[in-house]
Structures are given as C-alpha cells and as structure tokens.
C-alpha cells in the first residue's frame, strides 16, 4: 500500500470513528471537496464543518472500501458509503478521486448516482418497516 492510499484509508477510518479532527489533519488547508452534482466545498474550515454534520450519533457516516489504488499524488477508490440516520442505514456506491500534496488530501472528488442514493433511502425505509436485518450491497458485481 502506498503512503497516499494509507492516508486516504486513515481519513475514512477517522471519519468512521467520529474523529473529524484526525481526518482534518490529513487534509491541506485549501482542500476542495466535490461531490459531483452537488455544490463544491472549498477550504478545510468549510469541509470540517460539513463533516461534523454527518458524524453524529444520530447521523453517522461509514465507508466500506472495495478497491483502492494510487501513486504518491493520486488515489482512486471504489466503495459503498453508508449514512445511518436513526434506524435507517442508507447505502450507495461511490467512486472517489483524491489528489494529494505533501502527503495530505488536497482534492476529494466523489462520483455517485443520486438515483442510487434515492434507492438506498427506499431500501432503508423498507428494511425499517419490514424489520429485516438484511443489508443490501450496492457495489456493482
């Protein structure tokens, strides 16, 4: 594993552990976070504020990494992101591109389908209503 892929993995591990401060230490001050089709966030302060919104006990973020590859300046990920909102566990597939500078993430760009996010919500609500303990996996076969 390259140091850049280790950095990206460490950032996601910190976010899963609700440790936004540790994740922020792995970002440059001028980081750009782009969720394609949503507004782009610029600067560590803005990104940290947004991350704090999704790392609360009532609204939790996790990422299940399926593939990660990179060199010293670029990392590509294929993963399932999981947002837990109270009893709802919403899962959706994401591809991410990370650019690193001086060992820190300077660009975090995620690509996902809003249709997959909507399907994740529908599936989560269905599981909550039916009471099924099964979890779907939305990563492509």
Is 110 designated active site?
yes
User: Where are the strands (E) in the chain, listed by range?
Assistant: 27-35, 41-42, 59-70, 74-85, 88-101, 104-111
Selecting among 29, 81, 102, 116, the annotated active-site residue is: 81
Sign of CA dihedral 88, 25, 36, 73: negative
Is 102 a known active-site residue? no
Whether 107 contacts 98, CB under 8 Å: yes
The residue from 17, 21, 110, 116 that is catalytic is 110
Sequence-separated (6 or more) residues with CB below 8 Å from residue 84: 59, 60, 61, 62, 90
Task: Report, as residue numbers or ranges, the catalytic residues.
Answer: 81, 110
């Amino acid at each position: 594993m390259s140091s850049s892929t280790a950095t990206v993995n460490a950032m996601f591990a910190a976010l899963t552990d609700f440790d936004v401060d540790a994740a922020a230490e792995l970002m440059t001050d001028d980081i750009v976070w782009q969720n394609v089709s949503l507004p782009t966030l610029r600067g560590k302060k803005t990104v940290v504020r947004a991350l704090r919104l999704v790392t609360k006990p009532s609204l939790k973020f996790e990422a299940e990494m399926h593939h990660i590859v990179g060199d010293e300046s670029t990392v590509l990920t294929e993963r399932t992101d999981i947002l837990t909102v109270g009893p709802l566990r919403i899962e959706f597939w994401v591809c991410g591109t990370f650019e690193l500078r001086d060992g820190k993430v300077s660009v975090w760009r995620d690509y996902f389908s809003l249709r997959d996010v909507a399907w994740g919500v529908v599936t989560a609500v269905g599981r909550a209503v039916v009471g099924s303990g099964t979890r779907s996996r939305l990563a492509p076969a």
